[in-house]
C-alpha cells in the first residue's frame, strides 16, 4: 500500500480535538513512568468517567446491567475495565489490550556501594535496550519501598526543577580507542550501567583529640563516607535504611517531560511510548465510547517487555478471573459460559510498530512497513523469522475490521516489523488467541523504539484513538 500522509483529512475542529488528545497524552506519559503510576492515573480517569471498583460490588446484592462501568486492579500494576453491553457476555466482548511497562533500568536488591569517590547504585536493565543509549543522560528514580512494618514509601526523584538527577557515566572520547573497537552490544556492558548518586563524603564529629581530650568542633571523614552520606540523606528525607532496598521496586527512567517535536510540532518525543501510547488511546476510546451491543473491555497489563510473565503479566489468570467476576455480577457465570464468552470475543492487541527510519531504510521492506504520519498500524503477525512466536490473524477477521474502519473513514496501514530474517518482536496477542478469540496487533508507529526517548506522530495518535472507538462500537464478528 502506498504511504499517504493523513494530516490533510482533518478540518479545524478535528485538529483542535487532535491537539487536546495529544496534550492529555503528553501529560500522561510525563507523569506516569512506572506501571504503578500508570495504574493510579488510569483509575483516577476511570472513576471520573463513572467506573466503580469491581471488588466492592462482589458479595453485594447489586447486579451489573447494560451501561454499568467497572474496573479491577491487580497488585497495583495491571488494570481491567468493563463497560457492560446490551447483549450478554455469551455474545463475546470487544477487547482493547495494551501494556504499560516499558524498557528501563531496575535498581538491584543490594545496590549501594562506594568506588573511586562516588556512591553508586547497581542496576539490572529491564526489557530490550541498546545499553549505550542510557549513558550520560539525566535520569530519575521512580518507585516504591515497602518497609518491614508494611509502610510504603513512594519515591519520585529527578522530575521537578529543584530535584537532583542521576546519571551513568561513559568513557571520554580521548581514552576510548579500545572501547570504540568493540561491537555496539559490548560498548557498555550490563554490569557497567551503575547509577552515580553522590560524591560528597559525610563528615562526623571527632570526639577526642590525640591526647584523649574531647574536641567538639573537629570533623573527620568516616570509612565509606560517601555511601554513608547517601544513606544519611535517605534516612532524613525518607526514613529509609540500607536494608529497605531488599523490599523495593525502584525504576531508573529518563528525567524530564515529553515534548512536542519538530518546527511544526507535529510529533511527540518522550519516554515510554512503547506501549503507553496504545494504553492511553485505548483508555480514552473506552471512556469516550457510548454503551454498545457487546460488552467492551480494556486490559492494560505489566511485564510484556519480558515475556508477559509473573502475576501481573498477560500470562497470569488475572484477566480471566476479572471476566468471571464481572459475568457473575450479571448472573451469567458458569465455566462453560466463560469459555464461550472468551472464544466469541474480538480483540485488538494494541502495541506499537516500527516506523520507517530515513537513516536506516535498508532495515525495512517499504511495501510492508509503517510510516510516521501514515495512520493506525495493523500487524497481521509479529514474531521473528518464520513467524516464530506470533499470532497470525485470519483473513475473515481482517476483512471485517477493514469494512468497519473504511465505513468510519479511519486511515490505517499494514506492516511487518522490519525486513524478513532481520529481526522481529512479540506482543500479548498470542496469549489471548489461546482462548480461540479473533486477535490482531494494532497501534501507533514509533521511531526510536525502545530508546530512552521515542517519537510518535500526533496524527497517528489521534487516528488510532478514532480507530479504537470504531472497533469497540462496530466489530461483532
Whether 214 is in a domain gets the answer: yes
Whether 373 is in a domain gets the answer: yes
Same domain, 113 and 90: no
Same domain, 358 and 230: no
> Cα–Cα distance between 253 and 33 in angstroms, integer?
7
CATH number at residue 374: 3.40.630.10
Same domain, 321 and 393: yes
Domain of 232 in residue numbering reads as 104-254
Share of the chain above pLDDT 90, in %: 83
pLDDT band at 421 (very low <50, low <70, confident <90, very high): confident
Helix or strand holding residue 126 (H, E): strand 118-126
Cα→Cα distances 331→13, 250, 324, 430, 435, Å? 43, 42, 10, 30, 22
Average pLDDT over residues 172-188: 94
Average pLDDT over residues 373-386: 87
> Cα–Cα distance between 108 and 249 in angstroms, integer?
9
Question: CB of 413 within 8 A of CB of 376?
Answer: yes
> Cα–Cα distance between 61 and 73 in angstroms, integer?
21
Examine the pLDDT at 391 and tell me if it is beyond 90. no
Whether 454 is in a domain gets the answer: yes
| Beta-strand relationship, 295-301 and 93-99 | parallel
pLDDT in tens, 14-30: 999 999 999 999 999 99
Strand partners, 384: 388, 424
Whole-model pTM? 0.94
Of 254, 284, 314, the residue that ends a domain is 254
Examine the pLDDT at 217 and tell me if it is beyond 70. no
pLDDT band at 219 (very low <50, low <70, confident <90, very high): low
Of 225, 254, 283, the residue that ends a domain is 254
Average pLDDT over residues 440-444: 95
Examine the pLDDT at 218 and tell me if it is beyond 60. no
Query: SS3 for 128?
Result: coil
Query: SS3 for 192?
Result: helix
In the block, cell 551503575 appears at: 194
Average pLDDT over residues 38-55: 97
Q: How many domains does the chain have?
A: 2
Same domain, 332 and 438: yes
Average pLDDT over residues 180-207: 90
Whether 2 is in a domain gets the answer: no
Whether 260 is in a domain gets the answer: no
Cβ atoms within 10 Å, residue 313: 22
pLDDT band at 425 (very low <50, low <70, confident <90, very high): confident
User: What confidence score (pLDDT) does residue 385 get?
Assistant: 76
Whether 263 is in a domain gets the answer: no
> Cα–Cα distance between 442 and 240 in angstroms, integer?
43
Examine the pLDDT at 227 and tell me if it is beyond 70. yes
Of the candidates 430, 437, 442, the residue with the CA atom closest to the CA atom of residue 401: 442
In the block, cell 553508586 appears at: 120
Of the candidates 247, 248, 251, 246, the residue with the CA atom closest to the CA atom of residue 100: 251
> Cα–Cα distance between 441 and 352 in angstroms, integer?
9
pLDDT in tens, 136-177: 999 999 999 999 999 999 999 999 999 999 999 999 999 999
In the block, cell 511497562 appears at: 101
In the block, cell 488475572 appears at: 318
Same domain, 98 and 117: no
Average pLDDT over residues 82-103: 96
User: What confidence score (pLDDT) does residue 221 get?
Assistant: 60
User: What confidence score (pLDDT) does residue 423 get?
Assistant: 72
Q: For the residues of 282-346, what is the DSSP string, one character each?
A: HHHHHHHPPP-SSEEEEEEES-GGGTS-STTSTTSSHHHHHHHHHHHHTT---HHHHHHHHHT-E
Highest mean pLDDT among 177-181, 214-218, 416-420: 177-181
Tally the residues of the chain: 477
Of 254, 282, 310, the residue that ends a domain is 254
Q: For the residues of 84-119, what is the DSSP string, one character each?
A: --SS-GGG-EEEEEEE----EEEEEEEEEEEETTEE
Of the listed ranges 133-147, 194-208, 276-290, the least confidently predicted one is: 194-208
pLDDT in tens, 403-419: 999 999 999 999 988 88
User: What confidence score (pLDDT) does residue 2 get?
Assistant: 65
User: What confidence score (pLDDT) does residue 333 get?
Assistant: 95
User: What confidence score (pLDDT) does residue 339 get?
Assistant: 96
- At residue 248, what are phi and psi to the nearest 5 degrees? -120, 150
Question: CB of 111 within 8 A of CB of 218?
Answer: no
Of the candidates 27, 90, 66, the residue with the CA atom closest to the CA atom of residue 276: 27
Cα angle 22-312-28, degrees, rounded to a multiple of 5: 15
pLDDT band at 390 (very low <50, low <70, confident <90, very high): confident
Mean pLDDT in the chain? 93
Q: 293's torsion region: left (phi>0), alpha (psi -120 to 50) or beta?
A: alpha
Prior bond of 275 cis (ω within 30°): yes
CB neighbour class for 215 (10 Å; exposed up to 12, middle 13-18, buried from 19): middle
CB neighbour class for 225 (10 Å; exposed up to 12, middle 13-18, buried from 19): middle
User: What confidence score (pLDDT) does residue 420 get?
Assistant: 82
User: What confidence score (pLDDT) does residue 207 get?
Assistant: 60
pLDDT band at 212 (very low <50, low <70, confident <90, very high): low
User: What confidence score (pLDDT) does residue 365 get?
Assistant: 87
Examine the pLDDT at 341 and tell me if it is beyond 90. yes
Same domain, 351 and 250: no
Examine the pLDDT at 399 and tell me if it is beyond 60. yes
Amino acid at each position: 500500500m502506498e504511504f499517504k500522509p493523513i494530516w490533510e483529512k482533518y478540518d479545524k475542529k478535528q485538529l483542535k480535538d487532535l491537539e487536546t488528545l495529544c496534550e492529555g497524552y503528553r501529560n500522561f506519559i510525563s507523569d506516569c513512568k512506572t506501571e504503578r503510576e500508570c495504574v493510579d492515573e488510569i483509575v483516577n480517569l476511570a472513576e471520573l468517567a463513572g467506573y466503580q471498583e469491581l471488588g466492592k460490588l462482589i458479595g453485594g446484592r447489586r447486579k451489573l446491567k447494560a451501561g454499568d462501568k467497572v474496573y479491577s486492579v491487580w497488585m497495583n500494576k495491571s488494570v481491567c475495565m468493563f463497560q457492560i453491553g446490551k447483549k450478554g457476555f455469551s455474545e463475546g466482548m470487544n477487547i482493547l489490550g495494551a501494556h504499560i511497562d516499558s524498557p528501563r533500568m531496575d535498581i538491584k536488591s543490594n545496590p549501594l556501594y562506594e568506588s573511586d569517590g562516588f556512591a553508586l547504585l547497581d542496576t539490572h536493565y529491564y526489557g530490550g535496550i541498546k545499553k549505550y543509549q542510557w549513558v550520560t543522560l539525566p535520569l530519575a528514580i521512580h518507585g516504591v519501598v515497602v518497609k518491614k512494618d508494611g509502610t510504603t514509601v513512594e519515591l519520585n526523584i529527578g522530575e521537578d526543577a529543584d530535584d537532583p538527577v542521576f546519571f551513568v557515566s561513559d568513557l571520554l572520547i580521548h581514552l576510548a580507542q579500545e572501547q570504540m573497537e568493540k561491537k555496539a552490544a559490548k560498548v557498555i556492558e550490563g554490569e557497567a550501567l551503575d547509577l552515580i548518586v553522590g560524591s560528597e563524603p559525610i563528615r562526623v564529629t571527632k570526639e577526642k583529640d590525640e591526647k584523649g581530650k574531647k574536641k567538639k568542633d573537629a570533623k573527620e571523614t568516616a570509612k565509606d563516607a560517601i555511601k554513608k552520606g547517601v544513606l544519611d540523606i535517605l534516612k532524613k528525607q525518607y526514613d529509609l535504611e540500607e536494608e529497605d532496598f531488599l523490599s523495593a521496586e525502584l525504576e531508573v527512567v529518563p528525567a524530564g517531560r515529553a515534548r512536542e517535536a519538530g518546527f511544526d510540532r507535529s510529533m511527540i518525543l518522550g519516554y515510554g511510548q512503547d506501549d503507553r501510547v496504545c494504553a492511553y488511546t485505548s483508555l480514552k476510546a473506552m471512556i469516550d465510547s457510548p454503551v454498545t451491543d457487546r460488552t467492551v473491555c480494556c486490559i492494560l497489563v505489566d511485564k510484556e517487555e519480558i515475556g508477559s510473565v509473573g502475576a501481573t503479566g498477560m500470562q497470569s489468570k488475572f484477566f480471566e478471573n476479572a471476566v468471571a467476576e464481572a459475568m457473575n455480577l450479571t448472573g451469567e457465570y458458569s465455566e462453560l459460559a466463560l469459555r464461550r464468552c472468551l472464544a466469541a470475543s474480538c480483540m485488538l492487541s494494541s502495541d506499537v510498530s516500527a516506523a520507517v527510519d530515513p537513516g536506516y531504510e535498508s532495515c525495512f521492506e517499504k511495501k510492508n512497513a509503517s510510516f510516521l504520519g501514515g495512520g493506525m498500524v495493523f500487524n497481521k503477525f509479529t514474531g521473528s523469522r518464520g513467524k516464530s512466536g506470533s499470532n497470525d490473524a485470519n483473513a475473515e477477521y481482517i476483512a471485517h475490521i477493514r469494512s468497519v474502519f473504511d465505513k468510519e473513514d479511519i486511515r490505517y496501514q499494514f506492516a511487518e516489523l522490519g525486513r524478513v530474517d532481520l529481526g522481529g518482536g512479540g506482543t500479548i496477542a498470542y496469549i489471548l488467541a489461546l482462548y480461540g478469540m479473533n486477535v490482531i496487533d494494532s497501534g501507533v508507529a514509533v521511531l526510536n523504539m525502545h530508546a530512552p526517548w521515542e517519537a510518535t506522530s500526533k496524527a497517528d495518535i489521534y487516528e488510532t484513538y478514532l480507530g479504537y472507538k470504531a472497533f469497540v462500537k462496530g466489530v461483532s464478528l
